[in-house]
Amino acid sequence: MSVSVNTSGTLSTSTSEQDLATITSAGVFQAVIDISALNFADAGFIREYYKLTSGGTERLLKEYPIAAYSADAIFITTPRVSPFSLRYSLQQDLGVTRSVPWAIHALASTPVLNTNNTQTTTIGTEHTLATLTTGKTFQLCVDLNPLGGGSSPDELYIREYIKPTSGGTEQIFEEYSISGAMVEKMFISIPRLSAASLKYTLLQYAGTSRNIDWAIHEIA
């Protein structure tokens, strides 16, 4: 698969959050941002926003703090499988205005929605969201917006299970712990190559039962 520049530009920074790009075409994308112009006491945030489905609500996926004291002159986001909408923004809340070149790199692919649903959690029960048995690349997305904080926060695990071969034994290989009302309202797993079987589950072990939207995106 080839990689190309989807779009690029140069942003004049501001204390207001400014969009770099909103991408509504399906693909795998990565933002590459030149922060070498930042000087002492310059600081800010790079943010990613994501939609689970075409008609879903955009949520904050990731907020990356950036600062002038970093030894890295280039910032690169994690590659994202995005069938619907992905938005990148930059906000410089400290320092003086800078010119920041940026680009969005795209992998030639067409991700699609495999399945999606809403899981009503039962405290203490591990719910299977999906078991995928076709040989593809998959990514789980979970909307964390319903989770509550406070003195008795909602707490849950998202788990991944895999079989190495079709006749192999299913084993857990990743467990993500999530607690309370998150600033980042969207969870996305690492894209997984699965040749035999891949299962995603959700277990809420504390707090109040919630209705949690989720989706699985795939690359054939």
Which pLDDT band holds residue 80 (cuts at 50, 70, 90)? very high
Please name the residues in contact with 113: beta carbons below 8 A apart, sequence gap of 6 or more.
Answer: 53, 54, 83, 84, 215, 216, 217, 218
102 and 117 share one domain: no
Contact assessment for residue 199 and residue 161, using Cβ atoms and an 8 Å cutoff: yes
Residue 106 has which token pair?
A: 């795209």
| Tokens (6 digits) for 172 | 């857990």
Question: What pLDDT, on a 0 to 100 scale, did the predictor assign at position 72?
Answer: 79
Q: Which amino acid is at 135?
A: G
For residue 137, report the phi and psi dihedrals to the nearest 5 degrees.
-105, 130
- Residue 151: predicted pLDDT: 92
Which of 107, 127, 145 corresponds to the end of one domain? Answer: 107
Query: Beta-carbon neighbour count of residue 162 at 10 Å?
Result: 19
Task: State the Cα–Cα distance between residues 162 and 12, nearest whole angstrom.
Answer: 46
The structural domain count of the chain equals 2
Last residue of a domain, one of 107, 124, 154: 107
Distance, CA of 27 to CA of 107 (rounded, Å) = 7
Quick one: pLDDT at residue 135? 94
- 63 and 119 both lie in a single domain: no
Output the DSSP codes for 140-184: EEEE-TT---TTS--EEEEEEEEESSTTS--EEEEEEEEESS-SS
- For residue 212, pLDDT over 70 is answered with yes
User: Residues 131-147: what's their mean pLDDT?
Assistant: 97
The pLDDT value recorded for residue 14 is 94
Asked if residue 134 and residue 59 are part of one domain, the reply reads no
- Residue 199: which CATH number? 2.60.120.510
Same domain assignment for residues 87 and 116: no
Indicate whether 211 and 123 sit together in one domain: yes
Q: At 80, list the tokens.
A: 């994202």
- Mean pLDDT across 107-119: 94
Per residue in 155-205, pLDDT (tens digit) is 999 999 999 999 999 999 999 999 999 999 999 999 999 999 999 999 999
Band (pLDDT 50/70/90 cuts) for residue 68 is low
Q: State which residues form the domain around 212.
A: 112-219
Confidence band of 69 (pLDDT split at 50, 70, 90): low
Same-domain status, 185 and 126 = yes
Assess whether 122 and 206 both reside in one domain.
yes
Percent above pLDDT 90 for the chain: 90
Q: Note whether 117 and 103 are same-domain residues.
A: no
Helices and strands in the chain, H and E counts: 0, 18
Ranking 35-39, 92-96, 113-117, 140-144 by mean pLDDT, the lowest is: 35-39
